[in-house]
A and B are shown apart, each in its own frame.
Chain A
């Protein structure tokens, strides 16, 4: 009898410690001013607001910082400024309209949300995709991963004060976005990956364009190395700043580059493969110290791994259909609409009423540039999801901020926010 009691006792102690010694400032988002007014003169700490309009917060992130001089003690991220009820909206959109909604969540890596949504729908439908559709999805996701990580390089450099890096990063990202535009028609918010496959086949000359990009990028990444990686001031700002370890990451549910920066190799593409990632060869990049520099370096090297994957996709891209030939979910080809009334009706029905999805619930997850992006979907058998929930990696990863910032300087806070790379559209949904 006594042994289990001891375990319960220690567990409670740990819980109490975790609550009381936490790095998280647990006050209401309106309470800062009141507490400031009530505090007496001998109290040396102050509560300071950072954001929601602050250039280094990548959107509308607000931080309440408890400051002791220039040292950050506890802090609390206050979010919701970009909340537009996208999960509620999803309950009114058909499965074919769904990707237009989710693509606006993580606007730096929109194809991943589309992919998670489509995979969840296809799992409920029990659809098997033609190989070409799978490989096109993989091609697009890796291109998107490159553009997202390039954006990180640009903004991270800018936040630290390496302003020229912003121009380099954005120039390269624009090249990647131009390629995405050639294929999907849009720079961002593509609505390209849809339940049943992709919206359109790859255009003529796509192979040359991808080749041009992946031939040019390695030399450009070398420039990044010169500008940032080997630069003493830059390293000084990032090394040993915002350190987190594996146990903390796992406890906080953190995924993606932040988890990998602690030396823990976990990448859904390798460990729980989806699409055709088990048929390509790539390395999972890990760090050692779990600091801001490792998180930067991981993303830089993940671009190199994505280039490797892209080269293999170019070699192995199968021919065939780019979407499943299931009349229930696939509209007829454009040419058929001109000659057949039935095709016209069929097309009209799919785009107005949508298609019915069997009742059930499913969780589908992909490795987005920020970590595990999951889509939990419940269907009641109608043409719109009964419930659609996106597990945004940024939303969960944001919880590391107080732990990373505790005891650091306020100037480091900027470097830390940048290294977590949150996309507020996905945080607030």
Chain B
């Protein structure tokens, strides 16, 4: 195989997310490396989900790292399009603050209990969530204050 060590994947539901991450933290996963999301709108036939997991449009992807036995673990959380809310991981890993803000900005996923739910990369008055698959590339008009 190549250089990349396969990361074990856990599928968790939204209600179990906090509990699972807290448990993993106690097991030695000391740091939350990455929080990101995927919009599976155009890729509904994905085959890598186990049968018991109901596919939804959005998927939150959390990567944790353990240093004592070097290794990462990836959590995949299904987030439905009609209720895109997830509990925040801020209280467990404060470092997820900016990463969650980015996901909220780019995908419109709301992190419940997040201390600073503002846009991070896009301007505060931007409409829409650019990384969603229904947000076209190069869409006009460009929404900047000065152009209005």
A interface list, Cβ under 8 A from B: 11, 14-15, 18-19, 22, 24, 26, 28-30, 79-80, 83, 85, 87-89, 91-92, 119-120, 122-123, 126-129, 134, 250-255, 266, 271-272, 274-275, 359-365, 372, 374, 376, 378, 380, 386-387, 389, 391, 395-396, 398-399, 428-429
Contacts and interface: CB of A to CB of B under 8 A. Distances in A.
Contacts of B10: none
Given A362-B7, A395-B98, 11 more contacts: A89-B137, A126-B2, A128-B1, A129-B2, A253-B93, A255-B33, A359-B48, A364-B3, A365-B33, A376-B63, A380-B42
A127 B2 CA distance: 6
Given A88-B137, A387-B38, A399 B74 contact: no
B99 A29 contact: no
B98 A378 contact: no
A87 B38 CA distance: 11
B140 interface: no
Contacts of A85: 130, 137
A19 B98 contact: no
Contact of B43 (A128, A364, A380): A380
Contacts of A274: 3-4
A252 B74 CA distance: 18
B95 A251 contact: yes
Given A79-B121, A252-B94, A271 B2 contact: no
Contacts of B48: 359-361
9 smallest A-B Cβ distances: which pairs? A253-B95, A123-B4, A252-B95, A80-B121, A15-B91, A391-B34, A274-B3, A83-B121, A26-B116
Interface string B49-73: 0000000000001010101001110
B118 A88 contact: no
A364 B4 contact: yes
A83 B34 CA distance: 19
A268 to B, nearest CB: 9
Interface in B112-143: 115-116, 118-124, 130-131, 135, 137
Nearest to A15: B91
Nearest to A80: B121
Interface of B: 1-5, 7, 30-34, 36, 38-39, 42-43, 46-48, 61, 63, 65, 67, 70-72, 74, 91, 93-99, 102, 106, 115-116, 118-124, 130-131, 135, 137
A391 B35 CA distance: 9
A119 B3 contact: yes
A378 B38 contact: yes
A349 B94 CA distance: 47
Given A252-B94, A378-B38, A80 B122 contact: yes
B109 to A, nearest CB: 14
Given A11-B91, A359-B48, A363-B34, A28 B124 contact: yes
Contacts of B94: 18, 251-252, 399
A126 B94 CA distance: 35
A376 B60 CA distance: 12
A391 B65 CA distance: 13
A272 B93 CA distance: 22
Contact of A386 (B43, B91, B124): B43
B52 to A, nearest CB: 18
B33 A391 contact: yes
A91 B1 CA distance: 26
Contact of B33 (A19, A79, A253): A253
B74, B91, B96, B98 — which one has the most chain A CB atoms within 10 A of its CB?
Answer: B98
A122 B2 contact: yes
A398 B124 contact: no
Contact of A120 (B4, B38, B42, B124): B4
B97 A380 contact: no
B131 A271 contact: no
Given A272-B70, A274-B3, A396 B98 contact: yes
A270 B63 CA distance: 20
A271 B70 contact: yes
A399 B95 contact: yes
